[in-house]
Amino acid sequence: MRNYFVYYNDNYVKQSDATLPVLSASTQFGLNVFEGIRIYKEDSYFIFRLEDHLKRLNNSLRLIGFDIEVISNLEFLAIIKKLIILNNLKSDFSVRFTYLINEIDSWSSNKRPTFFIAPLIRKRNSADFYKTMILTKTRRISKLAMNPRVKCGANYINGRYALLEAKSKGADLPILKNKDGFISESSGACIFLVKKGVVITPTLDCDILESITRDTVIKIFLKNKYKIEERPVKEEDLNESDEIFICGSAAEITPIKLINKSDFRIGDLTKFIFNEYQLAITNKSYNDYSWTTKIEI
Ligand code: PMP
């Protein structure tokens, strides 16, 4: 990974110089909140659903007990412009932006968090790309214990357990049930099924992250008059489905083959949503939703 310039604690420094004390509450206890967002390069740069990512970051801050104002849209854009120039970024990339504690403190820390924005090179998915999945024994964390709506580092340890289990069983990714036995989501993406022409996805109260891409996918299907059901999803639905795909800012639209299914081809509705999503993220369609923010350098 290249040693890019990152925005860290109000300065632009090389990533290798953006360090944390070993005993900070973030290094020890995974105390942070963060977002990941993609920036697509066409004739200009396009950020997808920036306001929604900042809104979710703001909610995460509050839910985890930090009472500070999230960075503004305009400040964020100014930093991204500077990072593009400093790092000479000329193709698609993504950024992680995170509030963390860079002082030695306990997990109950209420010190003012430090903020960083760091670029990562990420190309958009190609149309023939797919991944395999398996249902895991590892269950999704419950809102009664660790609110899955908070996008915090510590919640990802649940994803780690599930991912390690899936990989040990030969699949790329896990599908987790929630504590009640309904399908919840994957370790870093939401799940959709297509069954007899109907698009189905678990409801938000099935212990999923309130995914921005999930919302985009639902809006695109609705706009194009497809039947969509948000409902509790059972294991039988999964096994009886004609198509499966996952979605997320990083995963974009990724077609899924269940590891135990022998016959597989990428389905028509998966192809449809893959193509429409590509148009949406680069502002070639769905302009009335104002999903993209254009950056001119
Ligand atoms: N679920 C989990 C657990 C995730 O980590 C992510 C990635 N942020 C998603 C779903 C997808 O969310 P989004 O579409 O907002 O990236």
- Is residue 83 within 8 A of residue 119, CB to CB? The reply is yes
Banded model confidence at residue 243, pLDDT cuts 50, 70, 90:
very high
By alpha-carbon position, which residue is closest to atom 12 of ligand 1?
211
User: For residues 137 and 161, what is the distance between their CA atoms, to the nearest angstrom?
Assistant: 10
| Nearest protein CA to atom 1 of ligand 1, as residue | 189
Q: How far is the CA of 106 from the centre of ligand 1 (A)?
A: 27
In the structure encoding, which two tokens stand for residue 103, read together?
């002082």
Structural tokens at position 240: 């009886």
Torsion angles phi and psi, residue 122, rounded to 5: -140, 115
Would the CB of 248 count as within 6 Å of ligand 1? Answer: yes
Exposed/middle/buried for residue 160 (C-beta within 10 Å: 0-12, 13-18, 19+)? exposed
Segment 17-34 shows an average pLDDT of: 96
Q: CA 51 to CA 68: how far, in whole Å?
A: 17
Q: Are strands 228-230 and 198-201 parallel, antiparallel or unpaired?
A: parallel
CA of 276 to the centre of ligand 1 (A): 19
When pLDDT is cut at 50, 70 and 90, the band that residue 177 belongs to is: very high
pTM above 0.95, yes or no: yes
Residue 2 in this model has a pLDDT that exceeds 80: yes
What pLDDT does 172 receive?
A: 98
Mean pLDDT of the chain: 97
Q: Are 96 and 117 in contact (CB under 8 A)?
A: yes
- Give the residue carrying structure tokens 């998915």: 125
Å from CA of 48 to ligand 1 middle: 14
- For atom 7 of ligand 1, the residue with the nearest CA is 188
Determine the average pLDDT of the residues in 37-53. 97
d(CA 290, CA 297): 20
Task: Work out the pLDDT band at 262, boundaries 50, 70, 90.
Answer: confident
Residue 284 binned pLDDT confidence (cut-offs 50, 70, 90): very high
Residue 38's nearest CA partner among 89, 74, 92, 80 is 92
The predicted pLDDT at position 39 comes to 97
Which ligand 1 atom is nearest residue 155's CA? 3
What is the number of alpha carbons within 13 Å of residue 161 lying toward its C-beta? 11
CA neighbor of 100 nearest in space, from 139, 61, 55? 61
Is the separation of the CB atoms in 33 and 98 below 8 Å? yes
Least confident of 38-42, 118-122, 185-189, 261-265: 261-265
Whose Cα sits closest to atom 5 in ligand 1?
188
Q: Give the position of tokens 């290094």.
A: 27
Which pLDDT tens digit goes with each residue over 152-168?
999 999 999 999 999 99
User: What's the pLDDT band for 20 if we cut at 50, 70, 90?
Assistant: very high
Q: Give the pLDDT of residue 127.
A: 87
Average pLDDT, stretch 102-126? 94
Average pLDDT of the segment spanning 22-51? 96
Report d(CA 248, CA 234) in Å as an integer: 21
pLDDT score at 181: 98
Q: CB of 193 closer than 6 A to ligand 1? A: no
Q: What's the 109 CA to ligand 1 centre distance in angstroms?
A: 26
Percent of the chain with pLDDT over 90: 97
Question: Three-class SS of residue 73?
Answer: helix
User: What pLDDT, in 10s, does the model give residues 192-231?
Assistant: 999 999 999 999 999 999 999 999 999 999 999 999 999 9
Per-residue pLDDT, 291: 98
Establish whether residue 33 lines the binding site of ligand 1, counting it when its CB lies within 6 angstroms of any ligand atom: no
Pocket test for ligand 1, best of 176, 211, 277 (most atoms within 8 A of CB): 211
pLDDT exceeds cutoff 90 at 263: no
